[in-house]
């Protein structure tokens, strides 16, 4: 399975935008890009996913490079509640397994 | 409320004493899976199930068993727990054709 590379940690000021990068240079044409986050003492929660085009939802935006070898999760205004570990994950959805390889993610610290 | 529940939330046991961690979802999801989370290793999938009576190994299945007799339940069984199975365990579910997995609150298991 294709793997992703993320920085171990990042910091952001409250109410500032945050750009969380992810490299996935071995991505295949059928791999979906997923982002999950894990708040302290909780299970992971879905944030967003995409295949080729940029995606927006109420939580975040996902910007996907044209060659799909990298992507960026954008939180438009960081709040203290956004402090979490963010995981960038690839999955081949057509396998039907929803098998997500989480890796170690990026720990986001939000500074008041 | 749509949710995934796990019981117990905390468990301390001794080596070799069989235990079961229950997982239940009320969303009629076909797909369910178990993950373990260890410091520095992220979340790793143990077993998954694509529907009733259909289960398969994930990345770290050794020492675990699962069953899927009903759609809503997916228990994780440790026949003879060992200290290296001390971990934080998460159950997750999703619709087979969906991209979003829902995670339970986690079960912290300590094997002495």
Q: What is the residue-wise DSSP string for A39-54?
A: -TTS--EEEEEESSS-
- CA–CA separation, B111 vs B87, rounded Å? 9
Asked if B50 is an interface residue toward chain A (Cβ–Cβ < 8 A), one would say yes
* Binary contact (A104, B40; C-beta < 8 A): yes
pLDDT digits over B61-91, tens only? 999 999 999 999 999 999 999 999 999 999 9
**Low-confidence residues of chain A: pLDDT under 50:** none
CB < 8 Å from A in window 75-94 of B = 90, 92, 94
- Burial (CB < 10 A; 0-12, 13-18, 19+), residue B85, is buried
Q: Which residues of A touch B103 (CB under 8 A)?
A: 43-45
Q: How confident is the model at residue B93 (pLDDT cuts 50, 70, 90)?
A: very high
């Amino acid at each position: 399975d294709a793997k992703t590379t993320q920085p171990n940690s990042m910091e952001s000021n409250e109410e500032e935008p945050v750009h969380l990068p992810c490299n996935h240079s071995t991505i295949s044409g059928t791999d979906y890009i997923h982002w999950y986050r894990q708040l302290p003492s909780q299970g992971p929660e879905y944030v967003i996913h995409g295949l080729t085009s940029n995606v927006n939802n109420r939580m975040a935006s996902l910007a996907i490079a044209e060659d799909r070898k990298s992507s960026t999760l954008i939180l438009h205004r960081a709040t203290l509640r956004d402090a979490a570990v963010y995981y960038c994950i690839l999955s081949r959805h057509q396998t039907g397994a929803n098998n997500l390889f989480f890796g170690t993610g990026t720990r986001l610290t939000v500074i008041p | 409320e749509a949710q995934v529940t796990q019981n117990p939330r905390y468990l301390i046991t001794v080596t070799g004493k069989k235990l079961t961690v229950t997982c239940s979802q009320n969303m009629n999801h076909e797909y369910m899976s178990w993950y373990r989370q260890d410091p520095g290793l992220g979340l790793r999938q143990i077993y998954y199930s694509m529907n009733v009576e259909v289960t398969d190994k994930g990345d770290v299945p050794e020492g675990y068993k699962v069953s899927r007799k009903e759609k809503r339940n997916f228990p994780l069984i440790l026949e003879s727990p060992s200290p290296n199975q001390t971990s934080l365990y998460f159950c997750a579910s999703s619709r087979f054709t969906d991209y979003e997995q829902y995670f339970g609150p986690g079960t912290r298991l300590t094997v002495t």
